């Protein structure tokens, strides 16, 4: 294990070292101490390594991740795992705004709560939140899955496309063109897999599914008030 003291060695040196890792690296496990809320920790990694961050972080932790497993033993600021391509990011605490924004792939797990706009414009990422999420989550979500084991705030799934939303608790309100959908056997199987991968013991049968009503795909004057 490589131990990296962020306070002593600095963010630029850390990210440069992580960017130097390749497919055949033998430096596979990293431990980062003293993050102290620093921004942009472990962004842009493209290697099958594990990064363990001991403490809370600021903006964009794990952004643009590809292949790596990133574990945060604390909470994170806005934009965790933003534009993630693959790999896994696990947050032991809470997440601020737009967690997993524009994510194309991989799995983001938030074991606490997530704030507003969780999964905004998601494009294939899987997001599992053990707690609650805030308003405008999954706004314009294009594809992927958002699983919420707690409650969801206002305007869930506003203007979404083909992303699937699963909520175990209550939904304060649905956004434009979002509606509750039938929970079919294939969705139960999908939830079983995602909950298992996220170390969550919730039962798939306890969730409701939400998705697009598909009335805003093409402009229609009769729906102009919804745009």
All structural domains of the chain, each given as residue ranges with its CATH number in brackets, are: 2-215 (2.160.20.60)
User: Could you tell me the two tokens for 203?
Assistant: 């039962």
How many other C-beta atoms are found inside a 10 Å radius of the C-beta of residue 25? 11
Confidence at residue 216, expressed as pLDDT on a 0 to 100 scale: 77
User: Model's pTM, two decimal places?
Assistant: 0.94
Confidence at residue 65, expressed as pLDDT on a 0 to 100 scale: 98
pLDDT along the chain (227 residues), means of 10: 92 94 85 96 96 98 97 98 98 98 98 98 98 98 98 97 97 97 97 98 97 81 64
The answer to whether the CB of 66 falls within 8 A of the CB of 45 is yes
The answer to whether the CB of 133 falls within 8 A of the CB of 108 is no
Confidence at residue 56, expressed as pLDDT on a 0 to 100 scale: 98
Confidence at residue 227, expressed as pLDDT on a 0 to 100 scale: 55
Confidence at residue 219, expressed as pLDDT on a 0 to 100 scale: 64
Helix (H, G, I), strand (E, B) or coil at 109: strand
How many other C-beta atoms are found inside a 10 Å radius of the C-beta of residue 227? 10
Count helices and strands (H / E) in the chain.
Answer: 3, 11
User: Could you tell me the two tokens for 148?
Assistant: 């919420």
User: Could you tell me the two tokens for 153?
Assistant: 């705030």
The answer to whether the CB of 108 falls within 8 A of the CB of 99 is yes
For the stretch 36-71, what's the b/e string if a residue is b when 16 or more beta carbons lie within 10 angstroms of its beta carbon?
eebbbbbbbbbbbbebbbebbbbbbbbbbbbbbbbb
Largest Cα separation within the chain, whole Å, is 61
Confidence at residue 89, expressed as pLDDT on a 0 to 100 scale: 98
Give the separation between CA 102 and CA 190, rounded to whole angstroms.
21
The answer to whether the CB of 58 falls within 8 A of the CB of 36 is no
Helix (H, G, I), strand (E, B) or coil at 212: strand
Sheet holding 2-5, edge to edge: 2-5, 29-33, 50-54, 69-72, 88-91, 107-110, 123-129, 143-148, 164-167, 208-212, 178-181
């Amino acid at each position: 294990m490589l131990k990296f003291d962020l306070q002593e060695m600095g963010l630029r040196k850390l990210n440069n070292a992580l960017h130097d890792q390749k497919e055949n690296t033998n430096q596979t496990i990293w431990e980062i101490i003293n993050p102290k809320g620093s921004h942009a920790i472990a962004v842009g990694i493209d290697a099958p390594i594990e990064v363990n961050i001991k403490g809370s972080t600021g903006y964009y932790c794990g952004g643009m991740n590809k292949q790596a497993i990133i574990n945060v033993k604390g909470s994170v600021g806005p934009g965790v795992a933003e534009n993630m391509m693959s790999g896994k990011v696990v947050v032991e605490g809470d997440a601020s705004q737009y967690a997993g924004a524009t994510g194309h792939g991989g799995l983001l797990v938030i074991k606490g709560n997530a704030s507003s706009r969780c999964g905004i414009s998601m494009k294939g990422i899987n997001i599992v939140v053990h707690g609650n999420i805030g308003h405008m989550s999954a706004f314009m979500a294009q594809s992927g899955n958002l699983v919420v084991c707690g409650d969801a705030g206002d305007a869930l799934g506003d203007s979404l496309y083909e992303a699937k939303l699963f909520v175990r608790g209550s939904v304060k309100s649905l956004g434009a063109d979002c509606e509750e959908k039938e929970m079919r056997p294939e969705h139960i199987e999908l939830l079983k897999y995602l909950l298992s991968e996220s170390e969550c013991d919730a039962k798939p049968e306890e969730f409701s599914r939400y998705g697009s009503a598909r009335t805003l795909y093409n402009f229609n004057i009769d729906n102009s008030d919804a745009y």
